[in-house]
Amino acid sequence: MNSFRPARSGSAPTTGPAPVGGPASTTGPSRRSVLRAAAVGLAAPALAGCVTSGGDDGQPAAAKGETSADNPLGVPASTPLEVVVFDGGYGDEYATNAESIYKGRFPGATVDHKAIQKVGEALQPRFVADTPPDVVDNTGAGRLDLATLVAAGKLTDLTELLDAPSLDDPGTKVRDTLLPGVVADGTLDGKVYTLNFTYTVWGLWYSKPLFDRHGWAYPTNWDAMLALCDQIKKAGVAPWTYQGKYPEYLNDPLLAMAAKAGGPELVQAVDNLQPGAWKQQPLLDAATAIAELAGRGYLLPGSEALSHTEAQAAWSQGKVAFIPCGSWLEAEQQGVTPAGFDMVMGAVPSLGAADKLPYGTIQAASSESFLVPARAKNPRGGLEFLRVLFSSGSARRFAELNSTLPSVAGATDGLTVSTGLGSVRAAVQAAGPNTVTYRFRTWYAPLAKAVDDATGELATRRITPGQWADRIQKAADAVAADSAVKKYTR
């Protein structure tokens, strides 16, 4: 039903398709099994240990072929390659396209292609048993937690790939073909473990023709936004809605405004769990701005209970003017959006004149995390697959197939694109180096949940901006004080 929702890099996968096969989704143990297990359970430690008995003995020497100018990573020419991709909104045609290029380069190798949805559930046992595939697209609601994988030493450092010459131009390293922030997005503890294939930008979406018809101009600061909302409301259209069932969507405009007002230092303080970081004035101001939308009745009534599909459908039907979302929205709304709707994305308005970053600053992050497991049978092949995938031809094909910006710079240059993708591309160009990304969502998933919950309450005015900051700060302090949580800094 809602398989389309490319999880952003770093968003806690609390949403998405229902985990029908989840371990607790059955109605629980029956009375008899409970009683019987109780009798035997405690006395059966002999059975225990099975799940954690994966071998940690010496790493098997992975096959490596001759290194040459045409084969800089030393891929063994005839070793099979196993690719596992997430079969979500982007489908898997882009991956099979890259695989056929790979096979063209290594005709002796067979490629085992698997497109699945529950990446985590399918691969967790294979990671434990140290028999993982060679390259994995760790994406979707059921993906494996990256920080956990890294802490367990299950991933290959991708530095070698980044420093290898790109497929298109031997004079340019792979590293230098990527959009800003892509390498940093895949970095944990100073090492690069994932390479994200899509480039996601967050902003506010609206229908260009709808705005033109009413003579509404896209606001570049919050005062103008409130004034416009008043106009929109008078025209009988709800000014805003959000994907209330998943309040994290509303975090995007909130945190983006705060980042613009407070600058990179604010983002850094938040990510580094500094004491009082969430009580910084720009965050409070941004929270106040969002709460004001609700306070002035600018939110579509009932938004707080709408799923992303429901809220976005209401918006596509022209009942609502603005919706916050990432750049996957256009592809996601294909089929439910009437012709001539011509959606475009605008950068989140500035909070005020004193903002440290300019209006065009965008919150951007790469997603669709490709990784190469450390114990893969053919890790060189896995790296080479990524070199092929991140080549401009393969990236361009992806953009054509999915109306989505790949994380390879210039991949869509000269391509005729839809209104949405065109506006996203323009926003990336206008932002230049001014992109911000919060990392706390990837690093501390429980904190992300606390922020989402608080924002949901803020948007329904059940808590004040001050209470919003207080409870998130408390959650951040708890994470900071928890010695069991591995800490990261930027």
Tell me which residues in 10-69 interact with another protein (CB under 8 A).
12-15, 18-20, 22-25, 27-31, 33-38, 40-42, 44-45, 47-56
Minimum gap (Å) between residue 292 Cβ and another protein: 19
- Which of 108, 462, 466, 487 binds another protein (CB under 8 A)? It is 462
Q: Could you give the 3-state DSSP secondary structure of residue 351?
A: coil
Residue 339 or 484: the one with the smaller Cβ distance to another protein is 484
Residue 30 or 172: the one with the smaller Cβ distance to another protein is 30
Q: Could you give the 3-state DSSP secondary structure of residue 460?
A: coil
- Contact between 467 and another protein (CB under 8 A)? no
Q: Look up tokens 């850094």; give the residue.
A: 268
Q: Whole-angstrom Cα distance, residue 181 to residue 179?
A: 6
Residue 13 or 352: the one with the smaller Cβ distance to another protein is 13
Minimum gap (Å) between residue 211 Cβ and another protein: 23
Q: Interface with another protein by CB under 8 A: which range of 126-134, 283-291, 407-415, 420-428?
A: 126-134
Minimum gap (Å) between residue 157 Cβ and another protein: 17
- In sequence order, the β-bridge partners of residue 111 are 81
Q: Are 342 and 207 in contact (CB under 8 A)?
A: yes
251 C-beta neighbours (distance < 10 Å), count:
27
Length of the chain: 490
Minimum gap (Å) between residue 351 Cβ and another protein: 26
Structure tokens at 347: 């950068």
Structure tokens at 58: 């010496």
Cα angle 7, 207, 403 (rounded to 5 degrees) comes to: 45
H or E stretch covering 313 = helix 308-316
- Which of 147, 256, 257, 472 binds another protein (CB under 8 A)? It is 147
Structure tokens at 172: 């340019």
366 C-beta neighbours (distance < 10 Å), count:
28
Minimum gap (Å) between residue 54 Cβ and another protein: 3
Residue 118 or 397: the one with the smaller Cβ distance to another protein is 118
Minimum gap (Å) between residue 217 Cβ and another protein: 29
- Which of 457, 472, 476, 488 binds another protein (CB under 8 A)? It is 457
Q: Give the DSSP letter of residue 424.
A: H
Structure tokens at 255: 């945190």
Give the DSSP letter string of 92-138.
SHHHHHHHHHHHHH-TT--EEEEEES-HHHHHHHHHHTT---SEEE-
Minimum gap (Å) between residue 62 Cβ and another protein: 18
Site residues for another protein, 344-403, by CB under 8 A, read none
Written as one letter, the residue type at 459 is A
- Which of 304, 332, 355, 384 binds another protein (CB under 8 A)? It is 304
- Which of 131, 145, 214, 490 binds another protein (CB under 8 A)? It is 145
- Which of 3, 152, 227, 296 binds another protein (CB under 8 A)? It is 152
Minimum gap (Å) between residue 448 Cβ and another protein: 9
- Contact between 160 and another protein (CB under 8 A)? no
Residue 39 or 227: the one with the smaller Cβ distance to another protein is 39
Site residues for another protein, 470-489, by CB under 8 A, read 484
Which residue, among 109, 115, 77, has the nearest Cα to 96 in the 3D structure?
115
Site residues for another protein, 395-424, by CB under 8 A, read none
What residue ranges in 353-393 does DSSP mark as E strands?
362-371
Q: Whole-angstrom Cα distance, residue 152 to residue 149?
A: 5
Site residues for another protein, 284-303, by CB under 8 A, read 300-302
